[in-house]
Every structure is written in C-alpha cells, then in structure tokens.
Structure 1
C-alpha cells in the first residue's frame, strides 16, 4: 500500500528498536501494524520472533508459518536475500511444535443450535471464535472462554494453560431466562361503556403512533435481515483464512465484521418484530369513529371492552419481550 509506505517503515524501525531493547509490549504491536501497511516478509519474520520472545508461542508459530508460505512466493533474488531468516524460521517452527499447548472445547449435547463460543486472553482484545471438538493451539497463560445461546445470558470460564499442555474443557450454557426478571402488572380496571359516544373521536394521535411503530418495525426487520446476510457472507472468508482457532489479518477482519453484523442483526430483528406487533395491536384495537347521536358499533351496553394483561420480561437492564393476554 504505497500511501502507507512511510508509516510502515517508521513503525518497523520503532518495532525493531523496541524489540532489541526488550520492550516486547510495544515492539509486537508496532511490527504487526507495520506489516498490515506493507506486506514485507522481513517484518513478518521479526513479528514472529517478537511473539516467540513474549511467550505467545502459538501465535509465533502461526506467523512463522505465514512467513514460510510468503517466502515460497518470492522471486529467486528475494528468496536469496531472505535465505538466512527462512532457515531460522523453519528450524524455530519445528522446535515450537512440541511446546504449543492444545485445548479441546466441548459443548453439552443439550446446547441450543446457534450457541456462540468465543475466547479472549488475559490482555483482552476482540473475542476469537472457537472451533469445537478439535485440539486448538493456544498461547500459554490465562484465558477466558464464553458461551452464549440465542436469547440467553453469557456464561464465562477462566482457564490456564502451560507449555505442552493437552486439555479438554467442558463448556456450559446458560438458559435463556437465567437472569431474566418477570414483572407482572395487575389487570387494569375494565372500562365502563358510555351510553353515548363522544361528539367527535379524534384518532390522529393513535394513527401517528401506529405508523411510527410500523415504520420502526419494518426498518428493524430489514436491518436484521441485511446485517445477518453480511455476517453469513463472511463465513467463507473466515474458514479460508483461519485454522486451528488462529486467523491471519484477512481472517481477523472478516471475523470482526461478522461479529459486528451478527450483533446488529441480533438486536435489530427482535426490535423490528416488536414494532410490527405494536402496530398490529394498535390497528386491531382502534375504536370506530362516531358522532353525537350515532352509537359506535363496538360499544354494547352491558358488555365491557376486552382488557389487556401485559407481562414484561427483562434481561438484566434490557427489554426482552412483552406478552399480551386478551
């Protein structure tokens, strides 16, 4: 990327200076960003070297693999210039293989379809999707694994791995209403039917509310469908650029986009359905217009209008849903 060539070089120089001084917390991010700006094999080799020295050996092995793959695509003169680093990368990659911890994650058979499983390190960062039932290479240290079923609360577990560990972690899943709080409002007083209708019934405010709720509902449903489709379209990119739970730059970007779009879809779609439901209720319960002297068709002396009983479910501090009972 020519526009970022100067930035890439500055970041590379800073990363190398920090690497030589042992400031790994700043060296690795600088080299990683430099490589994103300009895909130079030398930068990738030193990034692998930095992650290796920082003890993140699974990440280092992934970068060594990427470097060796990039080396194969270089021209003969470029390969000659990279020859010494290629030999070091190959030797170090073979040495690391036996030390890399591998963890297998398993969901219970009762887990709902669509349950998301992600992992983050002690340092934080964006959650990484987790493949189930396979031994995944993971950096030594402290980690968190999370599960979240559709509509359910998130379940978290902290775990530690050391060099050479082989672990199997049994995951759990929270039920959709573990943290839900039900608030039931008492039945409202049934209205007493009027003997005569009002002189004029003005339903302009109700119509505005109906159109507003319907518009919000339609927009929410459309947004949910579109963002869901975008999230689904990234699946192939993630599968092509991620292996054993670790992703290259393209895979990370696709996973981030899929996660963001999936979250938007999960939020927008229920809001859209709720908006459409409110619009339908307002339409079905709208009284007939009437004037003095003309009895409304829906009002019958001796029969009360239907009452509405509303049950509201709250998930933490967020609205989950409402049940209308006639």
Structure 2
C-alpha cells in the first residue's frame, strides 16, 4: 500500500472545495454537505469504515467532482484498491467532459488521480471464478451479493484485498457458499461447487394386500362398472307419510279411550236414573252429570275415530303412491382388473 506524503495529505484537505454548481434539490444539497463534512472528518481521523460510506452518500445525493475525488482518496486509504481505482477513473472521465475553465480549477486533482491510479494498479488482486463443466443451466453465481453473469466467469476480475464470499445455486437447488481471503497483488482461481437440485420425494402410496389376494394400490387398479351408490335416507314424502300415520294412530287411540269412557259414564247414568212411566224419566244429580259426560265423551270418540280413519287412509295412499328406486338388475356382474409389479389378475363379483 502506498505511503502518503505530507503534500499529498494537504491535497486531500484541499479536496473539500466544491467546483461544480449544485444540480440537486436544496434539501438534498444540505444533506449531502452534512455527509461530506462528517465523512471527511472521519477519513482524516482514520475512521474509514464510517467516513467512506458517508462520502459515498454525499456524492450520491449531490454529485460533484470534489466529492468524487475525496471518495476515491478515502477508498485508497481504506485499502479497497480496486474500488479506489474505479472512483479515480470516474473522476478522470468526468474531468474529460469539463470546460477549459473547470479543468484549470481541477488540474491538481486530475494530476493526483493519474498518479494514484498508476501507483495502485499493480497492487490490485484478481480472482477467477470457475464453474464446473456440468453446472446446470441457470446456475446463479453471486460475489459479495452481486450477481455475476456468464461473461464474468472464467476470467480474472479485479477485487479489493480481504475476505470475500461467493455463492452458487442451481435451479431448485440449495445455496453453496465459499469464503476466501486474498492479498494485494495476488491472483487466485476459485473452483466453485454447485449442489444438485433437491429431488422431490414421490407421493406416498398406500400399501395394501398383495396382488395375489386380489387387492392392489389404487394407482394400479383398472376398475369395472362403478358400484351403485348407497341408498339415500328417507325423503320429504316419506317423512310426511310417517307423520300422517302417527296422527292417524293418535286419533284412533283417542277415539278408543274416549269411547270406553263414554260407555262407562253411560252405564253410571243408567244406574243413577229410574224411569217413571213411559214418557217421564227422573235422574239424580249424579246421574244427570254422568249422562252429560257420556254425551261429550261420545262426541270426542266419534271425532277421534273419524279423524284417525281419514289420516290412516291418507298415510296408506302416500305409501302406496311413493316412487320406488329401480331394483338392481338380476344377475348384475362387476369386475376389476388388478395389475401390479408382480403380476395381474381379474376379480369378478356377481349380485342376484
């Protein structure tokens, strides 16, 4: 790594001058200036891990030649040689597009950029990333999180000294990670490894009895005619029939009970009453009350028997007129062709 002279340090201090006019929004310019002041102070104090990112953010918010040159200086002192050379080249490209007046102002930075770039170039390490010949198409290679396409593989790439991480991943395959450390001026070739795609397990198939027993896994069965669906439960019509029949039974039971009670009360009234002459009847109060109850119970018995009879007839009619499911054809035969890895067979079932 190059040792900086006092004169060079002085030039770094002078790099805070901003030559180009502001092109960003006022808020962005203010934030960029704040990042620049803080980043330059950290750089001069040797805190490159915080100073260089602050300078990079300053240049992103408000790109100016002075910010770019100072960022290149910080990366060089930080030891990121390849990154520093890239920033010096960016500054030189910007310098080539300046007007004559701007070039005069930036001449010292231009000269230092050339000197630093030429001095650092021999120190840049290079790494060659090589995929195996059988790597699946679509394999993704990432170097420090940056995806590399095919043109970047198999050729020497400039990198910064230090530790690096390279990952490979085949389509539907796991990520394979490789870490390596490289020194200044070193050239290395990293032979990458690609993990094969993860094969999905086959679907689990139920293990039933063997083919000899007439049963094979579902995937190997060639079925004959489908069995008849199970009979459905009682429908709405059958439910109405049941309800009507129940009401008919209730009516008949009511008629029977009230009829028996009417006969009992009538017999009681006959006992309590006595006939006097052919047209006159005398009854005691108990007999008269029993006679009245007999009349009412007789009426209820008549109504119960009548309603029960009507409802019973309706229930029988509903039952007789209910649609019937088609009966299975006599002599129906079902068959199943069984096939398996150890043989095949035919199962025949008949129903009469």
Q: TM-score with structure 2 length normalisation?
A: 0.52
- Pair 1:141-2:162 in alignment: yes
TM-fit CA distance, 1:181 = 6.7
Contact 1:197 1:293 in 2 (8 A): no
| SS state at 2:85 partner | helix
Contact 1:197 1:294 in 2 (8 A): no
Instruction: Tell me what 1:241 maps to.
Output: none
| Deviation digits for residues 248-284 of structure 1 (CA, Å, limit 9, x no counterpart) | xxxxxxxxxxxxxxxxxxxxxxxxxxxxxxxxxxxxx
| Deviation digits for residues 26-84 of structure 1 (CA, Å, limit 9, x no counterpart) | 11111111111111111111111111111110111111111111111122222222111
Aligned match for 2:110, one of 66, 69, 86: 86
- Pair 1:165-2:186 in alignment: yes
| SS state at 2:123 partner | coil
| Deviation digits for residues 10-35 of structure 1 (CA, Å, limit 9, x no counterpart) | 11111111111111111111111111
Q: Distance in 2 between matches of 1:198 and 1:62?
A: 83
TM-fit CA distance, 1:303 = 4.4
Contact 1:196 1:293 in 2 (8 A): no
TM-fit CA distance, 1:129 = 2.4
The higher relative CO (CA closer than 8 Å, separation ≥ 6) is in 1
- Pair 1:195-2:219 in alignment: no
CA change 1:98–1:303 in 2 (3 A) is same
CA change 1:20–1:294 in 2 (3 A) is farther
Aligned match for 2:38, one of 14, 35, 48: 14
Aligned match for 2:85, one of 39, 48, 61: 61
> Aligned Cα RMSD in Å?
3.0
Q: TM-score with structure 1 length normalisation?
A: 0.56
| Deviation digits for residues 128-162 of structure 1 (CA, Å, limit 9, x no counterpart) | 42611211001001111111111222222111110
Q: How many equivalent pairs are there?
A: 204
TM-fit CA distance, 1:301 = 4.5
Aligned match for 1:29, one of 53, 74, 81: 53
| Deviation digits for residues 192-224 of structure 1 (CA, Å, limit 9, x no counterpart) | 965225759xxxxxxxxxxxxxxxxxxxxxxxx
Counterparts of residues 208-219 of structure 1 (less than 5 Å): none
Instruction: Tell me what 1:39 maps to.
Output: 63
Instruction: Tell me what 2:119 maps to.
Output: 95
Q: Distance in 2 between matches of 1:182 and 1:48?
A: 54
CA change 1:48–1:196 in 2 (3 A) is same
Q: Which protein is bigger by CA-based radius of gyration?
A: 2
Aligned match for 1:153, one of 142, 166, 174: 174
Unaligned 5+ runs, structure 2: 1-23, 209-217, 234-324, 339-352
CA change 1:165–1:195 in 2 (3 A) is same
TM-fit CA distance, 1:186 = 3.5
Instruction: Tell me what 2:311 maps to.
Output: none
CA change 1:67–1:128 in 2 (3 A) is farther
- Pair 1:127-2:146 in alignment: yes
Q: Distance in 2 between matches of 1:60 and 1:197?
A: 82
| SS state at 2:42 partner | helix
CA change 1:197–1:73 in 2 (3 A) is farther
TM-fit CA distance, 1:172 = 1.6
Contact 2:140 2:147 in 1 (8 A): no
TM-fit CA distance, 1:183 = 6.8
